[in-house]
Amino acid sequence: MHDFDLVVENGLWFDGTGAEGRMRNLGIRDGLVAEISADPLPVGRDTDVLDARGKWVMPGFVDIHTHYDAEVLVDPLLPESVRHGVTTVVIGNCSLSTVFSTPEECADLFSRVEAIPRQSMLDILDDHRSWTSPSTYVSVLESLPLGPNVAAFIGHSDIRTTVLGMSKATSTGYRPSASELDAMGDMLTESLDAGFLGLSSMTNKLDKIDGKEFRSRSLPSTYSRWRELRFLNRILRDRGRILQSAPTINFHPNIAAFFAESSGLSGRPKLKTSLLSAADSKAYPPIVYLMLAVAPLLNKFAKTDFRWQHLPVPFTVYADGIDLVVFEEFGAGAAALHLQDEVERNELLRNENYRRWFRKNYDDKLSPRIWHRNFYDAVIVASPDASMVGKTFGRLADERGIHPVDAYLDLVVLYGKSLRWRTTIANDRPKYADRLARSSGVHMGFGDAGAHLRNMAFYNYPIRLLKRVHDTGFMKVEHAVHRLTGELAQWFGIDAGHLRLGDRADLVIVDPSGLNASVDGVYEAPIAQFGGISRMVNRNDEAVDATVVAGEVVFRGGRFTAGKNGGKTGRFLRAGAYSRDIDSTEQLIRSAL
């Protein structure tokens, strides 16, 4: 037997099943975990060694909600995730994928919703699109020097736009014909055959299209009626695949329809359903009780297989001027974001009738919302007038004797995007954040990696959750590891998230002494692939000692390494590839103990 390629020594090993951590040495050969031993392992001349003394060795994190669909084509290492121990990412969320639609259509669909520069999105797809089908798309991904593994949903808006054209796809009065539904069904089936996890959709009309011709219309999937959704869901249910979506946020919520679709009470198979999002909302604090109760009860008594996606950290967002997606949820905010020309926009923001409209939207406490609409809870973090930094717009309004909306709009007109501010819209109460993180009705996700480049940075949310666990002990470390790794892999049906004998050697070494204040910090770094925009990132390299994908060290001691295979370590993970359940590996685990 030839030497191990990599040995991880003296670490506290967690296998991702929820089992208690144990001090073990791991021997890795040909990308797989070949031996787990309490005794030292032999080290050959060419064996790489990672000393994990005093550290935690665990499966690489699984990030189930990213928007790396364009970025993966030009920077397939996906370093902002890999450096924080993420070894598997899921793309194609929120009804958005790049498989079928033209580059221009994709740019219109993605850029405003996900706050990605439209021209950069268009240029990337124009330059790199060579696929003609879901299977050839997968082949393109597999040809890239991927850092992490990639799994994917097919986007409902992508399919709908291709079959109907953008005009019909975003028309309230248009209903797809039987042949058009069949065409959408064929595209979904072809995608599932290629290994996609399922369908991502969107019913919340908050998200808007970019571009000129159809600007400010909602995403195509939001125009679907339940006849169409049920037709597509039937295909998912029959194949045992997943629906990822979000309910409406209005006076006519459709959440009950999602529950009914997921249920297997009628004798049909359950529909795996992952919805955005479980949060302790500042706009509606009592709703956290619904989030905590509904999924466990439905899964137990209504035979559903339903989960909320949950970001297990405070949901803090930043904005340059008025560029923030939550403004899309009310009329005055959407009207301002509709205007691309700064002069024209500022003219609108100065208009007293417009301000009256904005004040009315702001003061209306009964309308459905994501943002709590409180400028006393919006802190200025950068401004040409340094004396304002650290103050809220509400405080400035009080000092000037004006309405908070007027104080805010005055500064936006004066400073534009040079005025930078932040607010926390959810998950600010530790008691409820801890309860959500422990709930069986949620799974960890919704970090939106690769999107909202100037608005937020949750690339390291798994590390931040581990810090909270380490600091407070509100759950056991092995439980937190399971929630971030094996639990997700098993539910999504992908070959990831475990670190047992025979598993792929995708792992992260976490130094608990590095789980310090830097974990919660946000920073900025330019991203050349998107026109040099300075995007928000996380930088806590003391926490992650090393990230390993397929047995190769890709990140160590704060630096990326080239690896032995031209930098290619990740692969495309096909749905259903996960076949080893926990019970079937108990004997293997016992033999390693």
- How confident is the model at residue 565, as a pLDDT? 64
CA quadruple 406, 410, 413, 417: dihedral positive or negative?
negative
Q: Would residue 125 be called left, alpha or beta, if left means φ above 0 and alpha means ψ between -120 and 50 degrees?
A: alpha
What is the domain partition of the chain in residue ranges?
Answer: 1-91+448-462+474-593, 92-132+154-315+426-447+463-473, 317-425
Q: Which pLDDT does position 564 carry in this prediction?
A: 67
pLDDT mean for each 10 residues of the chain (593 residues): 90 98 98 97 95 98 98 97 98 98 98 96 97 98 97 98 98 96 98 98 95 96 96 97 94 90 93 96 94 94 96 97 95 96 96 98 91 97 98 98 98 97 97 97 96 97 98 98 98 98 98 97 95 96 97 96 78 82 41 37
Task: Give residue 588's pLDDT.
Answer: 40
For residue 563, what pLDDT is reported? 65
Please state which architecture CATH assigns to domain 92-132+154-315+426-447+463-473: Alpha-Beta Barrel (3.20)
Residue 49 CA: distances (Å) to CA of 10, 225, 522: 11, 56, 32
CATH of 1-91+448-462+474-593 given 3.30.565.10, 2.30.40.10, 3.30.70.260, 3.40.50.720? 2.30.40.10
Long-range contacts of 253-262 (CB under 8 A, 24+ apart): 254/203, 257/226, 258/306, 259/294, 259/298, 259/302, 259/304, 259/306, 261/229, 261/230, 261/233, 262/298, 262/304, 262/305, 262/306
Find the DSSP H helices in 148-196: 156-169, 178-193
Is pTM beyond 0.85? Reply is yes
pLDDT at 368: 86
Report pLDDT for 578.
63
Tokens 């003219």 correspond to 347
Do residues 105 and 166 lie in contact, with contact meaning Cβ atoms separated by under 8 Å? yes
Cα–Cα nearest to 476, from 12, 5, 8: 12
